[in-house]
């Protein structure tokens, strides 16, 4: 069980490097998550097909298939238990921090190794359902931008209303890139005033996806999940 009796987040960690596996696994346990560690792409795919995970951390280069191959095969397996689970790519190559191929393939984030514990916590915050809800909001950053608690509270109320409306309209907006770009531009500003750093990160990544991948509809799953988690944090 996680903190305060909540169920632990189950995280599949696929990495052929023993040191990385150990560090990431220990870090996840420190935050109350339950990691399942795999050293081979084939075994990771089998686990993801058979078991339900809350998060997939997939290394870009592994024997038996790297992150791109694994996620594609998993998404194409209609009865896979973790077919729709949020996925994060991990890599030791800093040049891949915003790789368009990974982002357009459906990865919501790219975690550069070696990573910090704080970086892992930010990733966990994207998939939390109450486990780390407060990590979605940075009160200090919000106070620095808004100036006082009353203003911050009012701005966060407006942000929550904006996010509920955006969630309803998102599927329609996905077919209207210019309108979606404009909404995302405004949302980034709101995130800054409210200290919603995790949502701001996903907003930037969706903007990058819109700019770089013109031939297909954007993958909204990670962005939508960040909206839901931020609304929960704003409500609590």
> Per-residue pLDDT tens for 131-179?
444 467 888 888 888 888 999 999 999 999 999 999 999 989 988 888 9
Domain residues for the domain of 150 are 134-235
| Pair 79, 62 in one domain | yes
| Pair 125, 195 in one domain | no
State the CATH number of the domain containing residue 36: 3.40.50.2300
- pLDDT in the model for residue 132: 46
- pLDDT in the model for residue 131: 44
C-beta separation of 82 from 74 below 8 A? yes
Average pLDDT, the chain: 85
Half-sphere exposure of 128 (CA within 13 A, CB side): 27
> Per-residue pLDDT tens for 43-77?
999 999 999 998 999 999 999 999 999 999 998 89
* The pair of three-digit structure tokens given for residue 84, joined into one six-digit string: 């729709």
What whole-number distance in Å separates Cα of residue 184 and Cα of residue 13?
31
| Pair 102, 169 in one domain | no
| Pair 24, 94 in one domain | yes
- Tally the domains of the chain: 2
- Report the predicted TM-score, pTM, of the whole model to 2 decimal places: 0.64
């Amino acid at each position: 069980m996680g903190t305060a009796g909540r169920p632990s987040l189950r995280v599949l960690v696929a990495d052929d490097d023993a040191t990385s596996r150990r560090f990431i696994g220990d870090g996840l346990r420190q935050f109350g998550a339950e990691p399942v560690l795999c050293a081979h792409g084939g075994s990771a795919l089998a686990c993801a097909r058979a078991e339900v995970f809350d998060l997939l951390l997939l290394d870009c280069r592994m024997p038996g298939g790297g992150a791109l191959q694994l996620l594609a095969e998993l998404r194409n397996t209609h009865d896979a238990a973790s077919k729709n689970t949020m996925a994060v790519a991990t890599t030791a190559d800093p040049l891949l921090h915003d790789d368009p191929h990974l982002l357009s393939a459906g990865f919501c984030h790219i975690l550069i190794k070696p990573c910090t514990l704080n970086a892992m916590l930010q990733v966990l915050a994207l998939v939390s359902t109450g486990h780390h809800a407060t990590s979605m909001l940075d009160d200090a950053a919000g106070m620095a931008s808004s100036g006082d608690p009353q203003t911050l509270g009012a701005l966060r109320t407006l942000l929550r209303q904006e996010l509920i409306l955006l969630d309803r309209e998102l599927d329609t907006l996905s077919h209207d890139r210019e309108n979606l770009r404009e909404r995302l531009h405004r949302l980034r500003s709101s995130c800054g005033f409210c200290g919603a750093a995790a949502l701001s990160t996903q907003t930037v990544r969706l903007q990058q996806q819109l700019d770089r991948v013109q031939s297909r509809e954007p993958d909204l799953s990670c962005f939508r999940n960040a909206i839901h988690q931020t609304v929960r944090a704003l409500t609590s």
